[in-house]
Amino acid sequence: MISIIVPVYNAEKYVSKTLQSILKQTYQNLEVIAVNDGSTDQTRNILDEYGKKYPEKLRVIHTENQGVTLARMEGLKIARGTWIGFVDCDDMIDPDMYELLIRNAEKYDADISHCGYQMQFADGRVNYFYNTKKIIIQDKYQGMKDLLEGDFIEPSLCNKIFHKQLFQKFFNNKKINTKIKINEDLLMNYYLFFYANKSVYEDICKYHYIIRNKSVTRKGLNKSRIYDPIKVKKIILNENIDEVREIAKKVYILTSINVYNSLMIDKSNKFKKDEIKVRNIIKENKEYIKLLGRKQKILGKMILYIPCIYKYIYRFYAKYLLRSKYN
C-alpha cells in the first residue's frame, strides 16, 4: 500500500481538484491522509465532506497551524502503507503516476522511485523538466549527487515514493529542524537518499506543480528566504560525506552567491546588514569559488573584490542579460 500525505492550509479553491487527481489513480492500493494545518477558510469543511464520501480511501486530520513539515509528520504517524508519497494541496498528478512509481520500485528493487514533473504558470506557460522517457538507476551516492546538482531529482518530496523504512532510519538518527522554512524538502530528501540503497527515476512528467500568482516562490525576501537555503547547504556540507563533499562545497558557495545576488536586486533597502553577513560567508569560503562554472566564478570574484559597484553591475546583468536569455 502507498500512503499519500497531503498537508493542507487555506486551500479551499484548489484542494478538491488535488484530491480528485489522487483518488482517480489507476493504482488503487492506496490511502490518502489529508492533514488540515489549522486552515481559517472553508478547507476544514471541504476535507470533512471528502472524508465522508470516501471513508475507505481518505482519512482527515485536523491540527493547529504548525507548518508543512510538521503537518507531514502528523500524517506519517498514522500511515499504514509500506510506501509513502506526498502531494501539495494545490498541485495535480496524472492518473497513472503512482502505478508507474510502484512498478519501477518493485521492478528495480529500489527504496525510492521518482518521476519527472512540469511547472504550470498562471499565464498558461508550461515548463517541462527533461521528459526524455529514460530510466535511470541511482545508487545511494549518485542519488545524493544528482539531488545536490539538480540533475533529474527535483528537491521536492512530491514526485516520489519512499519506502517507509527510510523515515524510520531518519527518525532514529536525525531530528527535524522545524525552524527551517525554505529548502526543508531538499534537506529531508538528502537524508532519505542517504538511507536508501538504490533509487530509480523515470524521466516522464507525471507531477504538475501549479505556480500561482500568490505562490510562495513569488514572495519577496525575508530572513528565512535569505538564510535558510544557506543553512541547509551548510548542514549538508557538515555531514562530511566524502563521496559528495566536493559537490556539497560547490552547492554551498553557489547558494551563498545566489542569495547575495537576490539581495542586490532588492530595492527595499531593508537588508543592508544581511548583505554584509552573506558577503562575509562568501569571503570565508572563497576557496570553494574555484569549483564553480565560468560565469558564477566571475560573479563570485566580483563580489569579493569590487563589492561597492557589484550591485549596479549585477542589476544591469539581471535586467538585460538574464531577461533576454529567458524571454
pLDDT, residue 155, reads 87
pLDDT, residue 218, reads 46
**Host H or E run for residue 281:** helix 272-284
Position 121 confidence tier, pLDDT thresholds 50, 70, 90: confident
Position 216 confidence tier, pLDDT thresholds 50, 70, 90: very low
**pTM for the full predicted model:** 0.90
Domain architecture of the chain: domains with CATH: 2-217 (3.90.550.10), 220-326 (no CATH)
Please give, one letter per residue, the 3-state secondary structure of 35-88.
EEECCCCCHHHHHHHHHHHCCCCEEEEEECCCCHHHHHHHHHHHCCCCEEEECC
Residue 4 confidence (pLDDT) above 90: yes
Inter-CA distances, 285 with 137, 237, 240, 273, 279, Å: 33, 12, 16, 19, 10
Q: Could you report the per-residue pLDDT of 15-32, keeping only the tens digit for each? A: 999 999 999 999 999 999
Q: Could you report the per-residue pLDDT of 252-294, keeping only the tens digit for each? A: 999 999 999 999 988 888 899 999 999 999 999 999 999 999 9
pLDDT, residue 322, reads 53
Would you state the torsion angle of the CA atoms of residues 156, 158, 164, 170, taken in this order, to the nearest 10 degrees? 20
pLDDT, residue 215, reads 45
